[in-house]
Amino acid sequence: DTEVTQTPKHLVMGMTNKKSLKCEQHMGHRAMYWYKQKAKKPPELMFVYSYEKLSINESVPSRFSPECPNSSLLNLHLHALQPEDSALYLCASSQISRNGEQFFGPGTRLTVL
Amino acid sequence: GQQVMQIPQYQHVQEGEDFTTYCNSSTTLSNIQWYKQRPGGHPVFLIQLVKSGEVKKQKRLTFQFGEAKKNSSLHITATQTTDVGTYFCAGSSTGFQKLVFGTGTRLLVSP
């Protein structure tokens, strides 16, 4: 299984809502990532988890809260988002090695009203 | 911070023509990866280059890593309509997990 799955595919939320994005992989990868991608822009790294511990936080606002409950799952909890947070949120995973090919999920398209 | 620029931003070619995208980093890279993202899709890994001056080929695609490990290129010979998409280089200089994506080159191929 070389697939990263993400749910939901689409999400519309108000600025006062709390929601969560979910990501799952069964490739045995011990590094997992969250990226944000705006239209016609490259993916921007948000968070990296290595061995289920947060290893990189790219100065992301606290309204985004990542969680890695186990080696296969990655969540992104959302609270009090702004309209400018509307984007495609991509999850990725990779081995912990220098051959760090990242496998991306299909993404969650988030709209904040 | 590290910046990775790609040129051109966009290229429209006729099927059968060649295509090249260039990637330049503001810092020396430990490795560079290339990804392709189809319209409405997600990035898909193409290749990784690690050594200075490295050249790798995948069928019609040729990838190069510069001698100074600050630039890279992707050349597609005889483009096909299936090559349509945005090509991103992505490099790391401070740790292999911290990839910085280039600005991307969007390729359109007309039959």
Find out whether B62 and B75 touch, Cβ atoms under 8 Å. Answer: yes
- Averaged pLDDT in 10-residue chunks for chain A of 113 residues: 91 93 95 96 96 94 96 96 97 85 96 96
Res A100: pLDDT: 76
B21 Cα to chain A: minimum distance (Å): 15
B50 touches chain A (CB under 8 A): yes
> Where does residue B50 rank: exposed (0-12), middle (13-18), buried (19+ CB within 10 A)?
middle
Radius of gyration of chain A (CA): 13
Res A97: pLDDT: 77
B69-83 per-position pLDDT tens digit: 999 999 999 999 999
With contacts defined as CB-CB under 8 Å, which chain B residues touch A97? 96
Residue B92: CB atoms within 10 A of its CB come to: 20
Nearest to B42 among A45, A94, A104 (CB): A104
pLDDT of B96 > 90? The answer is no
DSSP class of residue A84?
G
Res B93: pLDDT: 82
Which residue reads 């705006």 in tokens?
Answer: A38
Res A89: pLDDT: 98
Structure tokens at A18: 């709390």
Sheet containing strand A73-79, strands side by side: A4-7, A18-25, A73-79, A64-70
| Strand, coil or helix: A83 | helix
Q: Count of alpha carbons within 13 Å of B47, Cβ hemisphere only? A: 19
Question: How far is Cα A42 from Cα A33, in angstroms, rounded to an integer?
Answer: 15
Whole-angstrom CA distances from A80 to A17, A110, B49 are 6, 13, 41
Mutate: best of A38, A93, A102, partner B, most B CBs <10 A = A102
B39-56 per-position pLDDT tens digit: 999 999 999 999 999 999
Nearest to A45 among B31, B48, B98 (CB): B98
pLDDT of B66 > 90? The answer is yes
Res A1: pLDDT: 65
Which of the four pLDDT bands, split at 50, 70 and 90, describes residue B107?
Answer: very high
